[in-house]
Every structure is written in C-alpha cells, then in structure tokens.
Structure 1
Amino acid sequence: MTSLLEEEALEFVRELIRIESVNTGDPATIGDGETRAVRFIQERLREVGIASELIEPRPGRGSLVARIPGSDPGAGALLVHAHVDVVPVEERDWTRPPFAAEIHDGYLYGRGAVDMKNYAGTVLAVARHLARERIAPRRDLVLAFLADEEAGGLWGAGWLVDRRPELFAGVTEAISEVGGFSVPLDGDGRRDEDGDEAPGADPRRAYLVATSEKGVAWATLTARGRAGHGSRPTEDNAVVRLAGAVRRIGEHRFPIVRSPAVTRFVEAFARARGLRFSDETIEADLASLGFVGEIIGASLRNTATPTVLSAGGKTNIIPGEATARLDIRVLPGQDAPLRETLAALAGPGVEVREGRWWSATEAPVDAPLLDVLGRAVAAEDPDGLVVPYLLPASTDNKHFARLGIAGYGFVPLRVPHDFDVLGQFHAADERVPVDALRFSARVTAQILRKA
C-alpha cells in the first residue's frame, strides 16, 4: 500500500510534466510555462501553510523560493533546488505524447520525467508531508524551484544569486541534480568469500552522488590573413591557418586528472569488481562497466571541442578572417592549464577569445551530508552504497557556488540495472519507473528531515 507522500509525489510530477515549460533559449518563443509551473507549486505549498516568494525577472520566467525552519538553529541551512524548465522536443521521435504524463508498463513518460520535474514534484510532496505531520527538519530548508537552467540559468539561479542573495542566507550546502540514481556495483552478481560471483545473486547498487561538476566554457578562435581573389592563392590564408588550429585542438587528448570524486569512484568499484584502474588500465576498466563507465570516462579529462566554423561568403574570394567556436569542459582547478594549452595549440596568428566561462564546482567528498544520504538509501536498500562521482556536465550548482554553497547532485532513484538514467536526459521517450519515483519520495523525505 502506497503512502499519501508517494501518491502526491507521483501526482505532482505528472501535473508538472503537463505544464509545457519548454525553454527554447529564445525569449520570443519561451512563453510563460515556467511561471505557470511555479504558481502550481506555490499553491500546493500554500495549502499546507508554507509561504513562498515568486520572483519573475521577466514575464513568464518565474522562480519560487520557500524556507522551512529547522530545529537546530546552529546548523547551516540546506538548499534543495530543482529547475522547472525543460528542453524542446521533436514529437515525431516520441512514441508517447511528451506532455501527457502517461504511464505505460510501469514507466512514466514525459519531458521532465528525469530532467527534472521528477525532483520538483517529489520535493513539493515531501514539503507537504513535513507540514502535515508537523515534522521539523534538523536544518532550515530553502526550497528553490528555478527557471532557465536549460539555457544556463541566467534568468533563474544566476539572477537570484546576483540580485537576491539574501534568500540563501545561512545556506552551506545544496542538493539537486544530477545523481542519486542507481547503477550496478557488482557486475553480474555478488561475490562469495573466494571472490567468485555467486550464481543468481542480484548485484548490489551504487547510488552516485555528484560531488563535483565540470565547468563549462565557450571560446572563439579567430585567424586573420590577407583577403584576395581565389585564383591567386596566398600563404597568408586565414582559412588554412584556422583549419590547422582546429585540427590540433580537435585531435588533442588532455591528460587524465584524478579528482577526489573520481578517486572515490574507482576505489569503490575496484573493490567491488576486482579491477585495477591504474593509469594503464583505467579506460579499459571503465569500458567494462558499460554505460556507467562512459559517464566516468567523460570526467577524466578536460575537453575542447570545435563545434561551429565560419569563413567567407563566396567561393572565389579568400576571406580576411575565419572563426571557429569551441565547447570547453574543464575539470576542477584546471582553468589555467587548459587556457595555456589552448593558446599553444591555436598557434601563432590565431586569437583565442573567451566567451562564457563557468569554472568547475567541487564539494567535499567526505562531508557528513554524504553519511545522511547513505543512511537514507540503506533504509530502503540495505546493500546500497552511495559513491561520489564527477558529473561531466554542469547544473545550477555553478551559480550557488559563488555564494560559497557546496553543491551535491542526488535525486534518489532505484532503477533496473540496465536502465541508464543519465541517458534519459534530453532524450525522446524520456521516462522513469513509477516505483523509482515512490522510492525517491521515501528517501528524499529521510534526507530532508535528517540532513
């Protein structure tokens, strides 16, 4: 028999999916979905006596913040945040309506099912549960439901940090995406006392917690040369110079950097699977983990990927300028070395001009909060193990880090061993097991109560 907490969590997730809060990145086409979503949340909070403030820096771009007092005034407040915007959909690629929130074969389908209206609805349900049961959390809880994460958070978390930092007074840590989902820890089964796999045993689960996130940056390469007629080639050709820089950067493999989060991950999986994860074997060892290894493999190195090229307008004219844009993902503490490497690879005559640059975030891998996460998971999955990892993407935690808030990614979901939660982000037929949402509600309630 499911509890009211679990039923409300499922109901609210479905209701939020049905609110089309698509963030196209274009103010002309975004609409008012974000504000409608947070108004829905605000009303559900008001029903149980929880006050909140709706902040709308632009029409339709609403965010909502509420604070629930804790029982320990000396403890730092905990920020719990979820974004209410979602990425666009190509409906022809979906087999289920992306905004209908239909349930089929035990899965809830819809844009936002994992990214991340599932957590917004769950946190809303937990807040109502605490209010109904008159349960005071240990720490003050600051609940933030945010606009614009999918386009960088400039009108959501970034705007609030810049313009309304008092809303987060006293906050020391945050919980949000992307983590908490289960992955198989033991491979095909548990190991017996001799180290052999026990036939038929169900693998233990690791619940990944993002203690760190790669930074995200953009840069433009600009090469200049002598313009002229295409019939008279010149050695001072901007296109050729740029092409050389793009090739060098595109082919470069940055060195492996073992961050604290990566170190903790490989330690846990080395013990569970008998792997070495040495410098010589780490990539092969990660490959043996399947989709789990792909996630971690992307967190080993800095990357700089050429994505957009631009030069000239007519085939018979040598342009005087050529440009290329780079998508850059930077590991913690690697900003300066990465900049130096890019300048060296670009070479003489090619300017590297930085655009948006958000550095990586890094929170302690041994904080007491991780013990709370572990106990909450163990109450529902006694063999489950919370394992740190480095998220190779970025979230709104990058904005809150500017206030000194240590951000963690942990949305608890116990899923089938072959279900790649991270693979559902931005995908067609985005879905989540209904049982995983119920598990999420129970575990999140324990975390927010006892953190």
Structure 2
Amino acid sequence: MNVGCWRRIESLMAMSYFFIFFVFFTCTVADDSIVSRFQEYLKINTAHPSPNYHEAANFILSQAKSLSLETQTIEFVKNKPLILLKWSGKNPNLPSILLNSHTDVVPVEPHKWSHPPFEATIDQGNIYARGSQDMKCVGLQYLEAIRRLKASNFEPLRTIYISFVPDEEIGGHDGAEKFASSNIFDEMNVGIMLDEGLASPDDNYRLFYAERCPMWLVIKATGAPGHGAKLYDNTAMENLFKSIESVRRFRASQLDLVKAGVKSEGEVVSVNMVFLKAGTPSPTGFVMNLQPSEAQAGFDIRVPPVADQASLERRIAEEWAPASRNMTYEFKQKVSVYDKNGKPILTAHDGSNPWWALLEGAIHKANRKFGKPEIFPASTDARYFRLKGVPAIGFSPMANTPILLHDHNEFLNKEEYLKGIEVYEHILKAFASSHVETKKDEAIRDEL
C-alpha cells in the first residue's frame, strides 16, 4: 500500500476520532445541563409544614417557557399553586394524557443526613436531596422527555398535560383531590394518567395498578381511676392493652403472609401503632400512684382493594374496640377501597387496558425490564383520578436503587435519572401516537 493510501486512512481515522469525541463531549454537556436543572429543582425547599410553593412554581413555569408549553396556574386554595402545562396534540378530540407529580416533600432532620438535604450534592454519582426519589425526579423527567421529543420534531397526536400539584404528602385534599373534582379536569378529557411509583432494588422497574387506602384509627378506653397499688378488672390501661395485643396478632398474621411470599406487601392489610396516650401528667412527669381513667392509641391502617374492608370494620368494632370493654373508636380518615358502584378501585393491567400494553412495550423498547404488576403499599394522588374512572398507573423509573422515600439520605443516582428520561421519552411517544380505541374513544366516535 502506498504512502498516499496510508495518509488517507490516517486522515479518516483522525476524523472518526474527532467525531466520536465531538459526540461524547456534546452528550456529556447535555447530560450535565439535565442534571443541573434537576439539582436546581431539588434545592427549592418545599418541605412541610412551610413548603416554598411559589418558588417551585416559578421554576416550573420557566422550564415550560423554554419548552413552549401552554401554562396555567391554579389556586384552589390560596398560596397553594397547582401548575398545569399543556402540549396540544394534532387531534384534540382524542382523550388526553395526564402526567402528574407533586411539588411538596416531607420534613427532614438535617443533622441525620450525610449531606445537606436541600443542596442536591452529588457524591459518587448519587444526588442526595429530599425529593430526589419522592418525587421531584419524575416531574422533571416528564419535562426532559418532552424536551427531547420536541428536539426530534415529534408531534403528538393526543394532547399531553403535565400537572405539578401541592400537598400530596399531607393527603392531597387542597391539591389533587380538588383538581380531580374540578370542571378544569373534566374539560381535559383525560384517557390515561401516570403518577408516582417506587424505586426498585433490582433491575426490574415496578408498575402499580392500585394502592392501599388509609383508615387512620384511634381507639379509646375508659375506666374508673384507682390507686396505683390496686388490682381490679376493666381498667382503661388493661382494656387498651388487650386491644393492642389483638391488633398485634392480626398484624403478625399479615406480615407472615408477606414473609412466606404468599402475598406482596401491597396485597395485605398493614396496621402500625403510631401513638400511645395515657397517664396523669405531673410537674416531674407522670403521677406514679394513680391509674388513669382514659387511655388511647392511634393506628395507621392501609387496606388494599383486594381485601374485605367491611370484614375489617367488623373486627374493629367487635374485637379491637368492643363497647363491652368500655371502648370507643373513631376514624381520623377513612377512604373506601370501592367506587360509587361498589367495585374495587383499581386500574386493569391485562388485555382490557391498551394503555398497559403500550407502557410495557415502551419499556421494552427502551431496553429496560419490569416486574409483576403491584398494588402500591401506601397512598398517592392517583386514587383521586381512579375514583373518576380514569386509568392511572404508578411508575417511577428507578432501578437498582434502594427505597429511600421519607428516609434520611434520600438519593437517586444520576445515571438512573438519565435512563428514566429515555424511558419516559419512549412511553410518551407510544401514548401520544396511539390510535388504539379506549372506552372514551369509542364514546367520542359514537357521538360524532
């Protein structure tokens, strides 16, 4: 081979190396910008009891402006802004897609964190911040996926809405609940909505089709006060302890089902005692020689839609707090697992729900994996939309990640965060391009 040929080969190789370096450099810069935007959002302190909602809203609106999305700021309750963004589809008559996330986060104990919880510090590739998993990651991943789709000149067939709601961590009553019950939501004609899920310790993403509903129970026992040395029946404390022991046995039976692999955590009734209140206060603590006339305990109960809620309520009345033992009870919150027609509140995850198949296909196309459909073990804003008859899927693309929501040192690896954006890009493309007919599509067609 002559010298000219070698020179041409060397020139081509040099150009190839330059191209590879250019692509690598460009991707690195783009990824750094994506992560920086995530960090900026995480640094906004939206922890209860005083979430800085307006700063979060301004940040979201600035991102929407950069993406040329339509914006609407709604305050169902003063100083609790709900931000609604819109990417109009080519066929506005088709049911739309709603991507929901909440802007608030739970309180922190900063001295128990290895990194300040609102500085979004990156350490060995992990982004430490309150909200990194629950769920500021998802809200920004929606927007970054839309940014990529717009850059590729993708045009959605269906309209896409993105909602950033307040107060999820304290029940969602001034946020998602009022939103789902509003005329604004009705006019959006939502056919499918996505909300938060959970991290997965392995490489299978977790998909949730329902969730457990809260029954916050307070049991109260009463009895005659007595000397601390006296033994007699039906004291308030003894009666309450009998109830606590009964609750403990039930809790153990449910936990045994999970430990044995018979049921998943979301399929059993969870009961956890959250407070115990009794005793007669004194300047130095409590009166030690006086048995109190009242005692009460609080329990956080979560009921899956596959459980018999009526049977559980009978157990509470007859076994946990029977009137025959001078006991009463009340629910601080009780959410039914049934809709207005008496059917369990859940989203179909079989062939009857085309959205579920589209979601699974999109995840496969992104070269990711997912596990068996699950019931979310706690409660999310999705319940308010399922009550309206809207299919809702809980999904947070966080694989190979410890579950740290509400925990100290909450973090999300930046590579997992970036992978999640790619997954949402595939999901949104599949959903927004879909011609499949849902029940709402059929109803619209019949009207036309």
| Structures share fold, TM-score greater than 0.5 | yes
The aligned amino acid for 2:328 is: E
User: Normalising to structure 2: TM-score of the pair?
Assistant: 0.78
**Aligned equivalents of 2:94, 2:28: Cα separation in 1:** 30
Distance 1:246 1:212, change over 3 A: same
Asked if 1 retains the 8 angstrom alpha-carbon contact of 2:228 and 2:290, the reply is yes
Q: Deviations over 1:298-351 (max 9, x none)?
A: 223212222212224144444333221111010104321211122222233322
Contact 2:279 2:295 in 1 (8 A): yes
1:430 alignment partner in structure 2: 410
Q: Is 1:338 aligned to 2:312, yes or no?
A: yes
CA distance in 2, matches of 1:135, 1:250: 55
In 1, Cα distance between the equivalents of 2:187 and 2:396?
21
Shift in alpha-carbon separation, 1:283–1:72, aligned structure 2, 3 A: farther
Q: 1:326 aligns with which of 299, 314, 317?
A: 299
Q: 1:414 to 1:297 in 2, by over 3 A?
A: closer
Give distance in 1, aligned partners of 2:143 and 2:117. Answer: 22
Contact in 1 for aligned 2:254/2:270 (Cα 8 Å): no
Match of 1:113 in 2: 132
Pairs within 5 Å for 1:24-423:
24=49, 30-31=50-51, 33-73=52-92, 75-163=94-182, 165-166=184-185, 169-179=188-198, 181-184=199-202, 205-230=203-228, 233-253=231-251, 283-285=259-261, 297-313=264-280, 314-333=287-306, 334-346=308-320, 347=322, 348=324, 349-360=326-337, 361-366=345-350, 367-381=353-367, 384-415=369-400, 419-420=401-402, 423=403
**How far off its partner does 1:80 sit?**
0.7
- What is the rounded CA distance, in whole Å, between the counterparts of 1:281 and 1:310 in structure 2? 30
Q: TM-score, normalised by structure 1?
A: 0.78
* Contact 2:365–2:426 (Cα < 8 Å) also in 1: no
For the residues of structure 1 that align with 2:76 and 2:93, how far apart are their CA atoms? 33
* Percent of aligned positions that are identical: 25
Cα deviation digits, residues 177-217 of structure 1 (max 9, x gap): 114x5554xxxxxxxxxxxxxxxxxxxx4221011211112
Number of matched residues?
Answer: 387
C-alpha distance 245-137 of structure 1, shift in aligned 2 (>3 A): same
- The alpha carbon displacement at 1:5 in A equals 7.3
Instruction: Point out the structure with max Rg over C-alpha.
Output: 2
Secondary structure in structure 1 of the residue aligned to 2:64: helix
Distance 2:206 2:390 in 1: 20
Amino acid at match of 1:12: R
**Runs of at least 4 residues of structure 1 off by over 6 A?**
254-257
Residues 256 and 76 from structure 1, CA distance in 2 versus in 1: closer, same or farther, beyond 3 angstroms?
farther
CA distance in 1, matches of 2:388, 2:293: 44
Instruction: Give 1:359 shift.
Output: 3.5
> Residue in 2 aligned with 1:14?
39
User: How far apart are residue 364 of structure 1 and its match?
Assistant: 0.8
2:144 and 2:183 map into 1 onto residues whose CA distance is 26
Please give the alpha-carbon distance, in whole angstroms, between the structure 1 residues aligned to 2:91 and 2:58: 30
Alpha-carbon separation, structure 2, partners of 1:297 and 1:352: 29
- Residues 316-325 or 217-226, more deviating: 316-325
Closer, same or farther in 2 for the Cα pair 1:363/1:233, shift >3 Å?
Answer: same
**Post-superposition shift, 1:130?**
3.8
